């Protein structure tokens, strides 16, 4: 379709995507190409510590590039559907949806994809998200450059999460269909894959390893876990043995804080805990209570906590 179009048609196509607010056509096009050619200078890079040890590299795009990436996400990428097995980064899908399929299962298998974003390449992004069937080649290449860093997906860019789901769509569909035939529930939350049912874990692990290998991806064997129903089964931070629930330890900590607040008063509690910023503490506590209610809306105890803190806020 795009084989015989010229520069003007490509530029018109780029203009139609409304990636930046520049109204002059020449400046609009030039700015996009300047940023794509200097992509490394348009990121701030830092490391954050992982709970499991080691560090994760975060690539934070500078304001203009972040604005462009958000426009690419809204105006280009979100027109494409992701797999129903992918539960992360999908608009309107709460975290709880990744846990529901695994409630009351005999066995849960958790697998992790090693260096997930770093191993999704520029060419995979280009061919999957901006293919020649839908975009002029020069436009597709430009969009791919604007969404990648040094030949990989940068973790921290607004586009990376949704792109990862598009890249993994065929994988998710093939693996999901294979699991359904074996009565195994499967979901993927970014680099975390969860399987549940009554099955032999080694068979699933072998299948996943082969499929990932075709994509140039590997399993992080250190994060492979099999959890029987006799143990506390946790999926993306939620207990699923009987119903989807926030872990008891998380709820007990909130109960403890609410006990001291209700018995001794908020100011006394803050003094005892040596907390100086009252508003910051209240917002944090409300966030924790809200998370519990997001997972279980009918929890009367935490509804009462929420109402109590709201009244304190109004005083």
What's the pLDDT at 207? 98
pLDDT band at residue 9 using 50, 70 and 90 as cut-offs: confident
What's the pLDDT at 212? 98
Dihedral sign, CA of 198, 201, 206, 211? Answer: positive
pLDDT band at residue 51 using 50, 70 and 90 as cut-offs: confident
Q: Which residues partner with 188 through β-bridges?
A: 86, 193
Asked whether the predicted pLDDT for residue 93 surpasses 80, the reply is: no
- In this prediction, residues 155-183 reach a mean pLDDT of 97
In contact, 207 and 175? CB cutoff 8 Å: yes
pLDDT tens per residue, range 190-205: 999 999 999 999 999 9
| Bigger pLDDT: 297 vs 178 | 178
> pTM of the predicted model, to two decimals?
0.87
User: What share of the chain has pLDDT > 90, as a percent?
Assistant: 81
Rounded CA-CA distance 113/223 in Å is: 9
What's the pLDDT at 202? 97
Q: Which of 23-27, 55-59, 132-136, 192-196 has the lowest mean pLDDT?
A: 23-27
What's the pLDDT at 54? 77
What's the pLDDT at 4? 62
- In this prediction, residues 11-34 reach a mean pLDDT of 88
């Amino acid at each position: 379709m795009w084989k015989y179009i010229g520069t003007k048609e490509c530029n018109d196509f780029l203009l139609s995507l409304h990636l930046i607010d520049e109204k002059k056509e020449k400046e609009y096009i030039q700015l996009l190409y300047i940023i794509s050619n200097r992509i490394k200078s348009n990121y701030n890079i830092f490391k954050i510590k992982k709970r499991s040890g080691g560090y994760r590299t975060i690539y934070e795009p500078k304001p203009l590039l972040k604005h462009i990436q958000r426009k690419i996400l809204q105006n280009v990428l979100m027109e494409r559907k992701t797999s129903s097995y992918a539960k992360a980064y999908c608009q309107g899908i709460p975290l709880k949806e990744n846990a529901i399929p695994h409630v009351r299962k005999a066995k849960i298998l958790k697998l992790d994809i090693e260096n997930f974003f770093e191993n999704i390449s520029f060419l995979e992004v280009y061919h999957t998200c901006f293919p020649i069937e839908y975009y002029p080649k020069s436009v597709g290449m430009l969009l791919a450059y604007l969404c990648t860093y040094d030949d990989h997906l940068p973790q921290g860019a607004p586009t990376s999460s949704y792109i990862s789901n598009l890249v993994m769509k065929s994988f998710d569909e093939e693996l999901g269909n294979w699991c359904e035939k074996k009565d195994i529930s499967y979901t993927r939350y970014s680099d975390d894959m969860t399987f549940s049912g009554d099955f032999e874990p080694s068979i699933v692990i072998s299948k996943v390893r082969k499929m990932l290998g075709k994509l140039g991806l590997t399993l992080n064997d250190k994060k492979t876990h099999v959890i029987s129903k006799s143990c506390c089964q946790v999926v993306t931070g939620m207990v699923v043995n009987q119903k989807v629930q926030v872990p008891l330890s998380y709820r007990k900590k909130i109960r403890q804080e609410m006990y001291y607040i209700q018995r001794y008063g908020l100011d006394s509690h803050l003094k005892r805990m040596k907390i100086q910023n009252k508003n910051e503490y209240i917002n944090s506590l409300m966030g924790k209570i809200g998370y519990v209610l997001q997972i279980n809306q009918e929890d009367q105890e935490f509804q009462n906590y929420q109402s109590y803190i709201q009244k304190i806020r109004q005083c």
